[in-house]
């Protein structure tokens, strides 16, 4: 029989050892707070991607719809888009902390849509060395939409978000900018109006990886919120780029951008051709929407949510062209 007094010295030694071990364990504050890290996959050295699901953005089933990435350098981390709610942003932060203890020095937004920017606040450290970077036109465009986004999020069952849940860029890109994470450089490129008027791509030179934002949709029907003709022009430029792999805004990572972008190009070209023909034939917009209600949508998800809206946008754009 072992008496309790015999255990006491061992128990106290054990306590000391345990305490020492705990001190040596890496601290993961997000886990301690019970935040489940977003699942991510390392698609190339130091490049981690979380793939969103194909839903329309909303606080109900639609917070986690956009793809999100982060790139770990020798000095610090760059985040590319932050998800559709502060909760997704917090889960992204936990995913980063699982991989590295380096700070997030850049938060890059590929455009102003809420499924890509509403997680920003969770990544904000207040450190003056941290920058939020976006296309020069993101700020004004997001500012115009933010009240609607916050209202929609609340209406769909989400928390009432304070206006400061929307975090604006502290640094902007007008054409091209390079940022340095220590041992790797990223090229940020601002594009003419396409999916939106503030599309930005991120290219990692070391691995040849391009984050396209929503300039590339795969599986999820492309959504026109900028200019249809401009987007088709940008697609032509994207196809000419020499990249090893691309991370779309929605859909799976691809090692063949040129092929992967063809379905989107086909859909947008079809909308352009058919809507232009309807306008030339004098078909009013309501009848055009009915006649083209399924045109070009085969094989795409979320056509019910977005196709009519695309036709409307295309009609408005093309109605006054020469
Ligand atoms: Zn978008």
**How confident is the model over 155-212, as pLDDT tens digits?**
998 889 988 999 999 999 999 999 999 999 999 999 999 999 999 999 999 999 999 9
Number of domains in the chain: 1
Residue 147 binned pLDDT confidence (cut-offs 50, 70, 90): very high
| Distance (Å) from CA 214 to ligand 1 centroid | 5
pLDDT exceeds 70 at position 14: no
- 201 occurs within a structural domain: yes
- Give residues whose Cβ lies within 5 Å of ion ligand 1: 113, 214
Residue 190 belongs to a domain: yes
Distance 5 CA to ligand 1 centre (A): 67
Per-residue confidence (pLDDT) for residue 60, from 0 to 100: 79
Mean confidence (pLDDT) of the chain: 91
Distance between first and last Cα of the chain? 98
CA–centroid distance, 115 to ligand 1, in Å, is: 7
When pLDDT is averaged across residues 38-56 and rounded to a whole number, the result is 96
Edge-to-edge strand ranges of the sheet holding 176-180: 176-180, 185-190, 200-204, 209-217, 245-250
Q: What is the CATH number of the domain that holds 129?
A: 3.60.15.10
**Cα(53) to centroid(ligand 1), Å:** 14
Average pLDDT of the segment spanning 125-130: 95
- State the Cα–Cα distance between residues 61 and 98, nearest whole angstrom: 25
Q: Which domain holds residue 71?
A: 37-318
Percent of the chain whose pLDDT exceeds 70: 89
For residue 215, being part of any structural domain is answered with yes
**In the prediction, which pLDDT does 233 show?**
98
Give 303-316 pLDDT, tens digit per residue: 999 999 999 999 99
* CA distances (Å), origin 102, targets 71, 74, 93, 134, 172: 11, 8, 12, 22, 23
Positive or negative CA dihedral for 91, 95, 101, 107?
negative
Q: For 129, which DSSP code?
A: T
What pLDDT was estimated at residue 12? 44
Give a yes or no: residue 14 inside a domain.
no
Span of 12-16, 127-131, 284-288, 296-300 with lowest mean pLDDT: 12-16
pLDDT of residue 34: 83
Residue 304 placed within a domain: yes
Is the pLDDT at 9 greater than 50? The verdict is no
Whether residue 23 has pLDDT greater than 60: no
88 or 21, greater pLDDT: 88
Least confident range from 53-57, 82-86, 165-169: namely 53-57
Residue 8 lies in a domain: no
Residue 176 and residue 205 in contact, taking contact as beta carbons nearer than 8 Å: no
| Beta pairing partners, 230 | none
Q: How far is the CA of 93 from the centre of ligand 1 (A)?
A: 22
Residues linked to residue 246 through DSSP beta bridges, in sequence order: 210, 254
User: What is the predicted pLDDT for the residue at 16?
Assistant: 42
Number of neighbouring beta carbons within 10 Å of residue 31 = 13
CB 264, CB 216: distance < 8 Å: yes
Q: Is residue 231 part of a domain?
A: yes
CA of 192 from ligand 1 middle (Å) equals: 15
Indicate whether 3 pLDDT > 50. Answer: no
HSE, side-chain direction, 13 A CA sphere, residue 294: 2
Residue-wise pLDDT for 211-240, tens only, equals 999 999 999 999 999 999 999 999 999 999
- Is residue 176 one of the residues assigned to a domain? yes
Does pLDDT of 269 surpass 60? Answer: yes
pLDDT band for 4, please (50, 70, 90 cuts).
Answer: very low
237-259 residue pLDDT tens: 999 999 999 999 999 999 999 99
3-class secondary-structure state, position 48: strand
Distance 140 CA to ligand 1 centre (A): 16
Residue 33: predicted pLDDT = 59
């Amino acid at each position: 029989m072992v008496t309790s007094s015999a255990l006491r010295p061992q128990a106290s030694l054990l306590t000391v050892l345990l305490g020492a071990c705990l001190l040596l364990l890496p601290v993961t504050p997000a886990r301690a707070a019970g935040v489940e890290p977003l699942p991510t996959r390392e698609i190339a050295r130091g490049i981690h991607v979380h793939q969103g699901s194909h839903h329309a953005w909303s606080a109900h089933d639609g917070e986690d719809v956009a793809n999100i990435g982060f790139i770990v350098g020798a000095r610090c981390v760059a985040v590319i888009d932050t998800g559709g709610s502060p909760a997704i942003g917090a889960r992204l932060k936990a995913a980063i902390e699982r991989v590295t203890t380096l700070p997030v020095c850049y938060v890059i937004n590929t455009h102003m849509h809420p499924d890509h920017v509403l997680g920003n606040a969770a990544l904000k450290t207040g450190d003056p060395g941290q920058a939020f970077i976006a296309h020069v036109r993101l700020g004004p465009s997001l500012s115009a939409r933010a009240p609607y986004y916050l209202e929609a999020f609340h209406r769909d069952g989400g928390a009432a978000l304070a206006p400061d849940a929307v975090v604006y860029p502290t640094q902007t890109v007008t054409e091209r900018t390079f940022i340095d994470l220590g041992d790797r450089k990223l090229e940020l490129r601002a594009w003419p109006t396409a999916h939106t008027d503030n599309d930005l791509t991120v290219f990692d030179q070391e691995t040849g990886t391009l984050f396209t934002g929503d300039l590339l949709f795969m599986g999820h029907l492309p959504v026109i919120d900028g200019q249809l003709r401009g987007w088709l022009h940008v697609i032509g430029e994207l196809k000419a780029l020499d990249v090893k792999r691309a991370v779309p805004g929605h859909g799976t990572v691809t090692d063949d951008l040129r092929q992967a972008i063809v379905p989107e190009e086909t859909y947008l070209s079809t909308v352009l051709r058919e809507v232009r023909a309807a306008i030339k034939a004098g078909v009013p917009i309501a009848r055009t929407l009915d006649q083209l209600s399924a045109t070009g949508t085969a094989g795409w998800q979320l056509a019910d949510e977005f196709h009519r809206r695309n036709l409307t946008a295309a009609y408005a754009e093309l109605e006054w062209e020469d």
